[in-house]
Structure 1
Amino acid sequence: MEIVGHNAFSFLNSKAVVKQIVQQCAGLPLAVVTVAGSLKGSVNVDEWEIALEELRECTKGSTSDGIFKRLKFSYDRLNDTRLQNCLLYCALFPEDRLIKRDSLIEYLKAEEIIEEKNTRQFQIKKGLKLNSIPDEEYWKDDVVKVSLMYNNVTDIPPSIIQSPKCLTLFTLLLCKNPLHIVSDHFFLYMTGLHVLDLSYTKIKKLPESVSDLVNLTVLLLKRCEDLKNVPSLAKLKGLRKLDFFGAGINEVPQGMEMLVKLRYLDFRSSRLKFMPDGVLCKLCNLQYLSLMCHSYTPRIKVEELAYFRKLETFHVLIDDIYNFTKYARFVEKGGLTNYKLLEVPSIGVRGDNIVSLGECNLSERILLPEDVDDLFIYHCDINARDL
C-alpha cells in the first residue's frame, strides 16, 4: 500500500489482481517491492492486468533464476535509463552490507547517470574476501564497471597482472582493501576511466599511470593515511572531485592548478602543510573547499577568496585575527550554505556555520557573519563590548 498508493484499489477487482501479482512474485520481498514500485500511481485496471500477464509470461517455467526474471521485469518497466542505472549500480555493493545513501548518491553524481542503455558488462567481486585481484581473463574489453571493494587484496604487483586492457572501463572501485602496493603501469590501458576509488586503502604511492587518466572526473583517496606520493595531476583537466580526506599527503600534488573544472576539493584531516600561492585562484569553479587539515592546516590569502564566485561550502583556518573580518565579509557576500572559520587548528568542532576563536587578542571590534550557528571563544583576551 505504501508503495503503490491507496488509489491502486479504486478500480473493480483490483485486490484480486494485486493478490495474483504478489503470488507471481513467489513471496520474494525484493521482487514484490520492485514490481510494486514499477506500478506506483497506476489506477488503470488494464495496465495492472497487462503487467500481470507479462509477469506470468516472463517467469513461466523459471526455477533457480526466478528472482532474476522477476527483478528484470521490474527493471524493464522502469522505462527510464537513469532509474535503471541506479538499480544496476546497487549491485556493485556487497549484498550483506548496508548501502549508505550519501555514498550511493556520490557515485551516481560522479557518473551523471546519463548513459545510453548499456548491454556491456559489470564485473562484481565485492566482499568475497579475495586475497588477490582476478587474472587477466577477468579484465575484458567490454567491461565498463568493476567493483572489488571489501576484499583482502594487499598488493597488485606487475608479476600478477601487467596492464589490463580495459579501454572502455568507466568505474573502478578498489576501496576498503588493505592494499599497499599498486603497479605503476596498472592503469596504463584504462584511459576511459571516469571514477577511481582507492579510499580506505594503505597505499603509500599513487601509481604513475594515474597521471594519464585524462578522462577521470572523480578521484577518491579518503583515509589513505599512508599515502605520501602523488604523481602529477596536470593532465586530469576534466577532474571534478578530488578527495584527500584523512590522507597522509603533506604537499599539494604537482599540476593541481590545471584542474580548472574541479568542483570539490577536500583536504580535511590530511597532513597538508602548505598551499602554494596562485594555486587556489585557478580553481575558480570550486563549490566545496575544505582545508581543515590534521595539525598543519595551510593558511590561504584573503585576496584569493575573490576568485571563488561559486563556492557553497568553505572550511578554513584563518591566518590571523586581523583578517577575520575580511573572511566574515566574504562569507556573507558569497552566499555560502556551510562554513567553518577557525583561528586555531585541530579544534574538532562539528556542525554548520561555525566560528571558533582561540588564544587570540579580541580587544579590537570584529565582525561576525549574521547567520553563524555556533561561536566558540576560549583562552582569548576579550572585551565583550567589542563583539
Structure 2
Amino acid sequence: MEVLSSVVGVLLAEPCRALFTFLRSKIKNPFYFNANLRALRKEIEDLMESRDQVNEHLESAAKVGQTALPQVRQWLRRVERLPNQVAYWLNEARRLRGDGKFPEGVAGPDPFPVRSEYIPAPTIDDQATASRNMAKVMNMLSREDMKRIGIWGMGGVGKTTLVKNINNKLTSPSHDSFSIVIWITVSNKTQETESELKKVQRLIADRLKLTLTEESMEAGAGKLHARLMMEKTFLLILDDVWDPIDLNLVGIPTLELHKGGKMILTTRFSHVCLQMTEVTLKVEVLNEEEAWRLFYKSAGEVAILGDVEPLAKAVTKECAGLPLAIVVVGASLRGKRMVELWKDALNALRRSEPLIRGRMEDKVYNPIKWSYDVLPNQCIKSCFLFCCLFPEDFRIDVDKLVMYWLAEEQTDGLPVAVKIHDVIRDVSVWISSSLEKECKSLVRSGIGLHQIREDELSSESHKRVSFMNNQIRELPNAVRGCPTVSTLLLQWNQELEEIPDGFLAAFMSLKILDLSGCYIKSLPSCLDRLVELRALVLVNCSSLETLPSLWGLAKLQVLVCSGTGISTLPQGMGKLTSLRHLDLSFNLNLEAIPAEVMPGLSKLEYLDMIGNKQLKFTGERGEISTQFKEILSLDQLITLFIGLGSSSCPVETTSNTLVNRMKKLKKFKLFIGFISRGAEAFLAVIRESTRMVIFMDIHQWGERIAWLFANSTSIYFYRCKGLDTMFEKLIASSDEVGSFDTVEILHILGSPDWIGVRSIAKCDMLPSLKYIYLDGLIHLSCFSDLALPLGLKLSELIFISVQNCPQLEELFKIDQNCSIMDVVFPNLKTISLGNCPRLRSVSWQNVACPHLEVVGVSNCPLLKKLNLTAQNVGTIKKIDGRQEWWDELEWDNDDIKNNLHPCFTPSPWP
C-alpha cells in the first residue's frame, strides 16, 4: 500500500501545485486572465485523468486484498471537490475585478446551483405501470452503456409526470450519482431553429448560474461546454421536445468526451427519439384498473355512490386511459351527486368531436373541452381562456392576470401563480379561436414572428389578440378597423421601435394595451382617443421618453410606467379619476411630480413610486411630508411603495392619526434614504415581504422611528450609520408605545460604526420575531449584545443568519448572574454562520434548541463545537460545512457524531 501512496503522490502533486498556483496568484491578474484560464482548464482535465488512474490502482489493489490508506481516500475526496472550488474562485475573481463579468463570459456559480431542484408533481406510487416505467429509467441511468434515453408517447399520457418523479427521486441524498441534474422544458413547436437553440442554451446556463451575454451561438456554446466539463457527472432532462436538437450547437459536451454526462428527453414523436437517443421507452395509456383508481382519486367518494358508480366508470373509459384527461374530468365532477349531471357528462364526452388534430389528440381534447363547457359561468370561462394568450410554459404572474381580468370587467381571480399544461393550453387556443363571440382570440405568442400580416387582423369578431414574446420589428401602418378587439398584447417584442398612428387607431374599442419590453420611444397622439382603455402597461420600455396626453382616458384604471425613460408625467394625469393602479417605479429620469396630481386620484388603490432618484413634488404643497400625508389620506389606498428621502420624519408622524392611516394599508414598502448602486441584490431578497420599512445608506434618520415599526412585518437596515443611536431612541419610546408585535423579520446589513446599545428595554420589543439576518456588523462580539438591549426573548425565532462579523466570538451568551438555568429557543430550526473568524461557540451549555434542523458553517475556523445534544440527533436534517471543519469538530461523545454524520453535506467552497 505504501507503493500505491507513492503513486498517488506523483500523480497528484504537480497538477495540484499548478492548480493552486493559478488560484492564488494568476487568477487575479486581468492581463493574463484568458491565458491562465485556458491553462487552468487543461490542468483540471489532467487532474481528472490522474484521479482515474488512482482509482484504477485502487481497483487492482482491492483484487489482491489490499485496502487504501485513509490519506489516499482523503486525497480523492479533495480532488472530487476541486472543480466546484475552482468555480467558486472564478466567481471571486469576477468580484475582485469589479466589473461583474469574466473575460470570455465565463462565470462561476453565484450562488452555487443546488445539485437537483425539486419540482412539484403528482405521485405515481399508486400507478403500477408508471412505477414500472420509472424503475426502468432508473435502471437505464445506472448502466454505463446507456447515455441518451428517450421517453415518448401521446400528449397527456404522463411523460412529464414520469420524469418529474425521476427528477425528484434524484434530489434524495441516497441518489447522488449526478453532481447536477438540469431540468429544461423545451416545448416550442414553431420557433426558428437558431432561436430555439438559443432558448435551450440560455435555460441550461440559467440553471448553472452561468451568465451568457448577447452574443453568437458559437460563443455561448463554448462557455456552456466549459462549464459542464467542470462537472464530474451531470444529467440533462429535456422535456417536451418537438424537433431534434443539435446538442453540439447548444454546447452540451459529447457523451464520448464527457463520460459522466447523460440525457433524458421526452417527446410526442418517435422520430425525435430515434435521432437523439440510444434507447427509448414508450409510455402507454393506463390500463382499466389504474385509470379507475386515478379517476376515483380525482373525483372523490362520490364516484362510488350506487347510481353514480357505473356512470363514473363509463366516463373513465371515455378518457381513454390518459392521466391528464382523467384528472381534469375527475376534478370537474368532484362532489357532484346528481345522477343527471353524470349522465350529461357522459353524453357530452361521447358527442364531443373536435374540428382539428388527429384521432389520438381527440381523446385528450374531448374531456378537456367538456371540462371547459361545464364551468359555472361565462365570466370564469373568459378568465380561463385568457391564459392561452401567453406562450407555452409561460409562468403567468397572477397579479398581472387579475389586473387584465379587472380591466376587461371580469370579477373572478386566482389565489396562486398560474402555469398551465401545454395540452390544456392547446385546447384553450383551439376553443378561443373557434368561438364566434365572447372570447374569440387570435393567438400568435412566442412563435418567433418578425412581422404581422394585415390579413391576420381582418376578422371583425376577435376580442383578444396576442403577439407577445416574438421578434416583431414593425407593425402595419394601416389596418382595417378591428372594432371588437378589447385586448392587444404586444409585450416583449424587443426590436419594435414604433407604434404607427394608423395601426393603433384601428383598435378604438381597446380596453387593454400591453407594450412592455418594446424599444418604442413614443406613443401615437391618438392614444387619448381610445376612450374605452382601462389598462396601459409599459414595463421596461427603457427608450420611452414621453407620453402623449391622457385627457381622453377617463375610464383608465391601470397605468404601469415602470422602468421607462420618461422625465415628466403626461398632461391630464391628475384627471384620471377612475385610476386604481399606478406604477411609476424605477424611472430614473423622472425627478418631479406636480403636487396637484395625487389628490385628484381619488380611487387609487395601488401606488408604487420606488426606485426613482430623489423624487420631488412641485407646487405650493410639494413638501414630501405634506404629500405623504395626502397620499395616506386617499380613501381607497391599500398598497403603497414610496421613498421618503433622508430628511426628518414627515409632519404628524408621532400622532395616532398617521399611525391609524398606516394601519389601513394591507401592503407597504417605505424606503428611507436612497437606493444606492449595488443595493439591487439586497432589494431582490426582500421583494416578497408585505409590510416593510427599509432604511438605506442613512445616518440617524429622524428623531423617532417608533411609528415605522408600529404596523410593519419586516424591518431592514442597509449600510446605515448611527444604528446604535437609532435603537436607543426606539428603546426610549418603549414606555409609551410598548412592543411591536407585528415585526417578524429583522435584517441588518452593514453597520461600520456599530458600538452597541447602552439602553435596555423594559419589555420584549419584538415578541413575534421569526427571522434575523445580520451581515457586516464589524464590531459585534455576541448576538446577545443586540438582543438583550431590545429585550428579545426569541421565543418565536425560526431562523438566524450571521455573516461577515469579524469580532463575533459567541452567538448566544447567557449572563452568569441569570437566575434562569436553561434558556430554550423552542422554534429555532436554522442557524447559518459565515466568515466569522473569531467565532468559538454557538452557545453555552444551558442554551437549548430542541427543534434545530439545519446548521450551516462557512469560514469559521475557530468554531470547534456545535453544542448539539442527543435530542438534536432526532431533529437535525442537514449540517453544511467544509470536510476539514467537520473532521476537526469536538463532541461530547462519539455516538452523537456518528448519528449526525449522515446529515453532513460537504460544501464546495473554502
Mapped to 2, the partners of 1:327 and 1:270 lie a distance apart of 28
**1:70-119 deviation line (CA, Å, top 9, x unaligned):** 4332222224112211232222122343444444333223223269x935
**Counterparts of 1:62-101 in structure 2 under 5 Å?**
64=359, 66=362, 67-101=364-398
Could you state the TM-score of these two structures normalised by the residue count of structure 1?
Answer: 0.88
Distance 1:386 1:213, change over 3 A: same
Number of matched pairs: 382
1:181-220 alignment, distance < 5 Å: 181-220=498-537
Deviation at 1:268, TM superposition (A): 1.6
Corresponding residue number in structure 2 for 1:359:
698
Cα 1:284–1:175 change in 2 (3 A) is same
Write out aligned runs for 1:119-134 (5 A): 119=438, 121-134=440-453
Equivalent residue for 1:332, pick from 660, 664, 669: 660
Residue number in structure 1 paired with 2:474: 155
Alignment of 1:144-293 (within 5 A): 144-156=463-475, 160-178=476-494, 179-271=496-588, 272-293=590-611
- Cα deviation digits, residues 325-374 of structure 1 (max 9, x gap): 64575353241111222221216542332223342445733442412223
- 1:229, 1:363 → 2: CA distance? 36
Aligned equivalents of 1:128, 1:361: Cα separation in 2: 54
Conserved in 1, the CA contact under 8 Å of 2:659 and 2:707?
no
Q: Show CA shifts across 1:125-170 (max 9, x none).
A: 11111100122453322221101111110222xxx34144112211
Residues 1:376 and 1:229: Cα distance change in structure 2 (over 3 Å): same
- Contact 1:325 1:367 survives alignment (8 Å): no
Matched position secondary structure for 2:502 = coil
Cα distance change, pair 91–36 in 1 and its aligned pair in 2 (3 A):
same
The one-letter code matched in structure 2 to 1:4 is: A
Judge which range, 122-131 or 89-98, deviates more: 89-98
Distance 1:356 1:11, change over 3 A: same
Residue range with higher mean Cα deviation, 225-234 or 244-253: 244-253
Name 2:273's counterpart in structure 1: none
Asked if 2 retains the 8 angstrom alpha-carbon contact of 1:120 and 1:144, the reply is yes
Structure with bigger gyration radius = 2
1:298 Cα offset (Å):
4.0
TM value normalised by structure 2:
0.39
Corresponding residue SS for 2:299? coil
> What is the DSSP-based 3-state SS (H/G/I as helix, E as strand, rest coil) of the residue aligned with 2:569?
coil
Inter-partner Cα distance in structure 1 for 2:592 and 2:525: 23
Partner of 2:325: 31
Write the distance in 2 (CA, Å) between the matches of 1:112 and 1:220: 17
**Relative contact order higher in (CA < 8 Å, ≥ 6 apart):** 1
Deviation at 1:13, TM superposition (A): 6.4
Partner of 1:317: 643
Bigger helix share: 2
The equivalences for 1:1-16 within 5 A come to 1=296, 3-12=298-307, 14=309, 16=310
Residues 288 and 98 of structure 1: CA distance in aligned 2, closer, same or farther (over 3 Å): closer
Confirm or deny: 8 A CA contact 2:649 2:702 kept in the other structure. no
Segments of 5+ residues of structure 2 without an aligned counterpart are 1-295, 413-435, 618-623, 731-910
| Superposed displacement of residue 55, structure 1 | 1.5
Task: Kindly provide the CA deviation profile for residues 190-209 of structure 1, in whole angstroms up to 9, marking residues without a partner as x.
Answer: 11100111112221112222
Cα distance in 2, alignment partners of residues 250 and 218 from structure 1: 21
Matched, 1:106 2:449: no
> Judging changes above 3 Å, is the alpha-carbon distance between structure 1 residues 27 and 105 closer, same or farther for their aligned structure 2 residues?
farther
The reply to whether residue 295 of structure 1 matches residue 617 of structure 2 is no
Please tell me the root mean square deviation across aligned C-alpha atoms, in Å. Answer: 2.8
**Worse-superposed segment, 117-126 or 238-247:** 117-126
The one-letter amino acid paired with 2:299 is V
CA distance in 1, matches of 2:320, 2:438: 28
Residues 1:341 and 2:670 are matched in the alignment: yes
- Which region of structure 1 is more displaced relative to structure 2, 72-81 or 249-258? 72-81
Closer, same or farther in 2 for the Cα pair 1:327/1:261, shift >3 Å? farther
Please list every run of at least 4 consecutive aligned residues from structure 1 whose deviation after the TM superposition is greater than 6 angstroms.
Answer: none
CA contact (8 A) 1:321 1:360 kept: no
Question: Which residue matches 1:140?
Answer: 459
Q: CA deviation at 1:120?
A: 6.3
Q: Aligned letter for 1:322?
A: S
1:374 is aligned, of 711, 714, 718, to: 714
Q: Distance between the aligned counterparts of 2:490 and 2:411, measured in 1?
A: 23
**Structure 1 counterpart of 2:693, which letter?**
V
Q: In the alignment, which residue of structure 1 is the partner of 2:899?
A: none
Q: Is the 8 A contact 1:171 1:195 kept in 2?
A: yes
2:592 is paired with a residue whose SS is: coil
